[in-house]
Chain A
Amino acid sequence: ETGVTQTPRHLVMGMTNKKSLKCEQHLGHNAMYWYKQSAKKPLELMFVYNFKEQTENNSVPSRFSPECPNSSHLFLHLHTLQPEDSALYLCASSQGTSGGESDTQYFGPGTRLTVL
């Protein structure tokens, strides 16, 4: 798991707080992803960046704001979240060439977010 790291591993926040999740990949990849994992539901793709440009925004509410300053780092800024946003947030990276559809994705361990 040293390929993709995520911090913090656990986060508890109130609905009025502002916090950020951080992801870093050490694999030399060009594409990075944010997913939301809720119990017994499919993984939900939130955002994709390839070469620092956003290529997918899967109708995510504006209270989630991604930032990709370079190909190795990805942030998810959180503000005024709702209790239903509590979930495991997973970051992934992939090579990011040839359209990306055949890429193997490498996942971090996730951030367990609880919104009170």
Chain B
Amino acid sequence: AQSVAQPEDQVNVAEGNPLTVKCTYSVSGNPYLFWYVQYPNRGLQFLLKYITGDNLVKGSYGFEAEFNKSQTSFHLKKPSALVSDSALYFCAVSANTGGFKTIFGAGTRLFVKA
């Protein structure tokens, strides 16, 4: 069975500081990993995904994530946070065993303080 854990309900960082939003996963087979962001009163927006290849994935708005197979993690990072990055971030996983079942985490609320 697939599962995703986002261990932090909330992350607080100061503007200009680096940010990390954590995600660990469990899946049978090779994982496909995703990060999405949700702003207030909006649907989820795609940030980046890992399918195969380079473990460091670069995405939209300066975000990146590193796939770590041994630690089954896919943490989201950004070198310098902006106030406008404040939002709800979701990690998601699916397995390369076929099917459309993507499992999402509970989300992590990011607050960036000016």
Give chain A's interface residues, CB within 8 Å of chain B. 1, 4, 31, 33, 35, 40-43, 45, 48, 50, 55-56, 58, 90, 92, 94, 96, 99-110
Complex interface residues of chain B between 90 and 114 (CB less than 8 A to chain A): 90, 92, 94-107
Chain A residue with minimal CB distance to B51? Answer: A102
Smallest CB separation, A58 vs chain B (Å): 8
CB atoms of A105 and B45 under 8 A apart: no
With contacts A43-B104, A101-B102 taken as known, whether A1 is within 8 angstroms of B43 at the C-beta atoms is yes
The 6 closest A-B pairs by CB, nearest first: A107-B43, A43-B104, A100-B100, A101-B94, A48-B100, A107-B44
CB atoms of A102 and B100 under 8 A apart: no
**Distance, CA A110 to CA B44, complexed state (A):** 9
CB atoms of B43 and A102 under 8 A apart: no
Smallest CB separation, A41 vs chain B (Å): 6
Chain B residue with minimal CB distance to A40? Answer: B106
Task: Indicate if B8 sits at the interface (CB-CB under 8 A).
Answer: no
Chain A residue with minimal CB distance to B9? Answer: A40
Of the candidates B41, B45, B100, the one whose C-beta lies within 8 Å of that of A31 is B100
CB atoms of B105 and A42 under 8 A apart: yes
- Chain A residues with CB under 8 Å of B94's CB are 101-102
- Chain A residues with CB under 8 Å of B51's CB are 102
Of the candidates B41, B95, B105, the one whose C-beta lies within 8 Å of that of A101 is B95
20 chain-A/chain-B pairs, Cβ below 8 angstroms: A1-B43, A40-B106, A41-B106, A42-B105, A42-B106, A45-B101, A45-B103, A48-B100, A56-B99, A56-B100, A56-B101, A90-B43, A101-B94, A101-B99, A101-B101, A104-B34, A104-B49, A105-B46, A107-B44, A108-B43
